[in-house]
Amino acid sequence: MTEGDAVPERTVADTAVVPVFFLSDSTGISAETMGNALLLQFPDLVFDRRTIPFISSVEAARRVVADIDAVLDAGPVPPLVFITAAEDAVRLELGRTRAPSIDFFELHMAKVEKVLGRRGKREALRLHGVGDIKRYNARMAAVEFTIEHDDGQSLRALDKADVILLAPSRCGKTPTSMYLALQHGLYVANYPLVDEDLESLDLPEPVRSYRDRCFGITTTVDRLSRVRHERRPGSRYASPEQCRWELRRASEMFAAHRIPSIDSSARSVEEISALILQTLAKSGTTPVVRQTARRSTDHEVQR
Where residue 232 falls (left for φ over 0; alpha for ψ -120 to 50; beta otherwise) is: beta
Counting DSSP H helices and E strands in the chain, the numbers are 11, 8
The annotated binding site for ADP is made up of: 167-174
Q: Report the distance separating Cα 196 and Cα 198, nearest Å.
A: 6
The annotated binding site is made up of: 167-174
Residue 69: which residues within 8 A CB-CB, separation 6 or more? 97, 98, 99
φ/ψ of 173, rounded to 5, equals: -65, -45
Report how far apart, in Å, the C-alpha atoms of 2 and of each of 5, 94, 253 are.
6, 10, 55
For the sheet containing 101-103, what is the strand order? Answer: 46-52, 17-24, 80-84, 101-103
